[in-house]
Structure 1
């Protein structure tokens, strides 16, 4: 294992110290490195709190700031934050208008955020993100995973909170954005969790994992490595099939890298995906390309399509000022 670190035990806290120092104008650390919060809070605004295991940076800590999250709780690598972390974050940022929790659909995250809500005296609602079409909803599963589409929910709902929408309206908006968003990823390599010191799974040089999760979970199948166009076609076909008829629908197209994929390759994948969706009649109204919801040092990418109504489009375009997303300044 070759990583830029001092020790396994301090990699997370030292990273958070660096984040806070580099973006001291935007955010600050909670006690004990339990959460990251906006430096300047707005009393009377509904607070947005999210979080999850570390290793997916910049999600979620890089999305704390004006127009997105008020606080994010980083767990250990690929491990849910604890209920006390989340409860302390809620207490630190709740300004009296209630708190909306944005939670990815993983068993540990769901359970710990629910426990934190029970510990808090604040008015709380929750949006559960589950945009991953690689996972089939079955009785013996927890359902679809929340992956890169979580970013879309956090951005749109964050802008709406900044505009003054109340807690129930934000909950409704978040659920609607989530239900209008689909994602799927393909990995070309595994990732290495610092504490384990070895790749999460073995994959050959000429192979790819189709439908991989952001923690290195196995996908739908292992297959031979194919061309970018062929990969994009399979992913886009599955996303489109899950939506149904997309003709004339306006959408955001997000191509997200998993941490070890060059931008040259991500833009190539965007080019393929955009062409394929436009052939189906989709109007690509907004775009985002970059490594934003990562899996440590995994190579590969995910494709997300999020349908945009007028409200969602307006909130997507609204000002955002975080460590990792900035526009409208």
Structure 2
């Protein structure tokens, strides 16, 4: 294992310490492993909280700031944060307008965020609405989930709901944005290599040199099947066809197309993949109105990518274009 670390047990805290040093506009609580926007709680604003296992950076800590999250909680690598961390974050960002939890559909995350919301309500009276993302069409159930996994749509939901909260929308309307995004988004991923968890010191799964895993999860879970390595044009079809079969993306106001890198795939390849995706979408009659390309939801050092499509309307496009200022996503400021 070759990694730029000191000790495997210290990776998460030392990474958060580096994040704090690089972005002094954030507040980082190393004890509870929580990243806050500097001005939280923002008076009168619905607060957004998300989090999960580390190893997916910049998700979630890199999306804390104006126009996105008010706080992000870091669990151990590929491990859910515990309820106490979530309660701490929820208390510290609530301004009285309520808190939305954006939770990826992994069993540990769902249970721990649910418990934290109950504790926050009982102990402090904070109104919390939790919305679960489950956009992965690859498998119905996996090693980590009951039902579909929450993946790329989570990034889009954090941006869009963050803009809604920044605009002053009330609690239920902000939560409804997350629900709309999840209902209208679908994702699928491919891995060319496995990632290596620092504490394990070896790849999560064995993937022979000439094969790729179609439908892989962000924790290295197996997907639909293993197939021989193929050109990008063919890979784009293997990812897009199940997405387009699952939901009709034609008509309406178009889609946001998101090609996401899983950690070890360079931008030259991600843009090449986006070109193939865009060509296939045009042929299928799907109109792209906005795009996002880059490593925004990673799986440590996994080589590969995922594709996410989100059906949008005028309101969602306006929310997408609204200013955002975070370490991982920034425009309009």
Q: TM-score w.r.t. structure 2 length?
A: 0.96
- Structure 1 window deviating more from structure 2 (241-250 vs 206-215): it is 241-250
Q: Superposed, which structure 2 residues align to 1:1-329 within 5 Å?
A: 1-25=1-25, 27-30=26-29, 32-41=31-40, 42-120=42-120, 121=124, 122-136=126-140, 142-244=146-248, 246-247=250-251, 249-329=253-333
Measure, in 2, the Cα distance between the counterparts of 1:163 and 1:137: 36
Measure, in 1, the Cα distance between the counterparts of 2:317 and 2:257: 12
Measure, in 2, the Cα distance between the counterparts of 1:245 and 1:232: 16
Structure 1 residue ranges (4+ consecutive) displaced by more than 3 angstroms after TM superposition: none
Measure, in 2, the Cα distance between the counterparts of 1:118 and 1:245: 37
Measure, in 1, the Cα distance between the counterparts of 2:226 and 2:99: 41
Q: Is the 8 A contact 2:54 2:77 kept in 1?
A: yes
Measure, in 2, the Cα distance between the counterparts of 1:191 and 1:31: 25
> How many aligned positions are there?
327
Q: Deviations over 1:270-312 (max 9, x none)?
A: 0000111111111110011000100000000000101110110
Which runs of 5 or more structure 1 residues have no equivalent in the other structure? none
Q: TM-score w.r.t. structure 1 length?
A: 0.97
Measure, in 2, the Cα distance between the counterparts of 1:96 and 1:248: 37
Which runs of 5 or more structure 2 residues have no equivalent in the other structure? none
Cα shift at 1:34: 2.4
Q: Is the 8 A contact 1:16 1:33 kept in 2?
A: no
Measure, in 2, the Cα distance between the counterparts of 1:80 and 1:192: 18
Measure, in 1, the Cα distance between the counterparts of 2:13 and 2:30: 11
- Name the SS for the 1:32 alignment partner: coil
Measure, in 2, the Cα distance between the counterparts of 1:159 and 1:86: 22
Cα shift at 1:197: 0.3
RMSD: 1.3
